[in-house]
Amino acid sequence: MSRIDENGQEQTLAIIGLGYIGLPTASMFAASGVRVHGVDINPNTVETINQGKAHIEEGDLDDLVARVVGSGRLSAHLEPMQADAYIIAVPTPVSHDAIRRPDLSYVMAAGRSIARHLRKGNLVILESTSPVGTTEQLRDALAELRPDLVFPGQGEDADVHIAYCPERIIPGRMLRELVENDRIIGGMTKQCGEIAAALYGKFVKGECLLTDNRTAEMVKLTENAYRDVNIAFANELSMVCDELGIDAWDVIEFSNRHPRVSILNPGPGVGGHCIAVDPWFIVASSPERAQLIHQARKVNDYKPEHVIAQVEQALAENPDAKVACLGLSYKPDVDDFRESPALDIAIRLARRLPGRVLCSDPYAHALGNAGHGDIDLGMVPAEEAVEQADIVVFLVGHAKFRGLSITEGKRVIDTVGFLRRQA
């Protein structure tokens, strides 16, 4: 897909979903010279972007959005319009019941929204992390809505090309990793993959590796399940050490001196839009086989219970104590609260101890963006929270917490080893 087609017309890209993945991706394509129509169902998001501002905090993203909106290369809209290529980057959550079923409603809604705009020669790419087979479901839905077009698998020459290309970037380094990281391009046909790779090649300097759509879907899930299993080992080890009265951080530090051992750091659980969610897609697809992956999810989901039990134990010694919860986002130094175990712990403690829980997070202003703006958590500056509290719980090691002075006599529960790293 070149910038100018054979008729001398500028080619266009529509990106459906302008969240943590969609907006950086749209901005990078726009910066590479592509005319990008961004689409989001949130009017505030659309308005903010069209003012040349990013609605999420991410390094130099604000400056990049201002530049590409100002140049006319990026604009945001509430509805899709006709384009040459479409990228779907919408959420794929899981249900919060015991079964934890994947919710593909956002993907299918995005597909329906672009169906009437499709033309012969279009490219559709799904970036949303999805269970194996989702790209095929999207293809089938589009084919049902547009019987006048030929889709991959329906004939030798498809009118519309479809591929799956998962994002693999991390908050805090998104713009850099969008450019540098290798991309897995899962085409529904070889030609689909090649056309999608040519599109990403406009700004991606990493290698574009071609495979089929089902393999690409499984690769994304595997990457995050691998990390989840390794974090689960660290979290389980920390709980065992707590029970035995041993410092888990000492155990991990000494164990990692072995040349073939590299244990990760434990924490209050696992959060974010990927690691806390994606392994459930594998479990849902193969519940009888994914035993280790399932158990790792259970361990990591249980870890907040363990932290709360530690606070309860401290309260048993001081029933009238006030509790400071430091850090609410899902990882340090980002404004992302999706699936955050720290936020879950703080909410539960605030309900258990009304008026006695003080919370602090340097990115608390973004709680509303994550759908948590109506939660009353008694937010105060970190220094004030530490000063007033009898029990101080470090849940996220934000850099802005460095240098906090904690007077002797306060009970400290450091779930992330933050104070140890400051020593």
Residues marked active site are found at 220, 274
Tokens of 400: 């802005």
Q: Which of 51, 112, 64, 66 is nearest to 86 (CA)?
A: 112
The string of DSSP letters for 268-319 reads S---SSSTTTHHHHHHHH-TTT-HHHHHHHHHHHHHHHHHHHHHHHHHHHST
Tokens of 313: 């134990």
In order of 65, 206, 323, 360, the CA distances from 59 in angstroms are: 11, 20, 32, 22
> Which residues make Cβ contacts (< 8 Å) with residue 8, sequence separation at least 6?
none
Q: Which of 207, 266, 196, 203 is nearest to 231 (CA)?
A: 266
How far separated are the first and last CA of the chain, in Å rounded?
53
User: How many angstroms separate the CA atoms of 277 and 270, rounded?
Assistant: 9
Tokens of 260: 């073939």
Q: Is 312 exposed, middle or buried (0-12, 13-18, 19+ CB in 10 A)?
A: exposed
User: How many angstroms separate the CA atoms of 120 and 135, rounded?
Assistant: 19
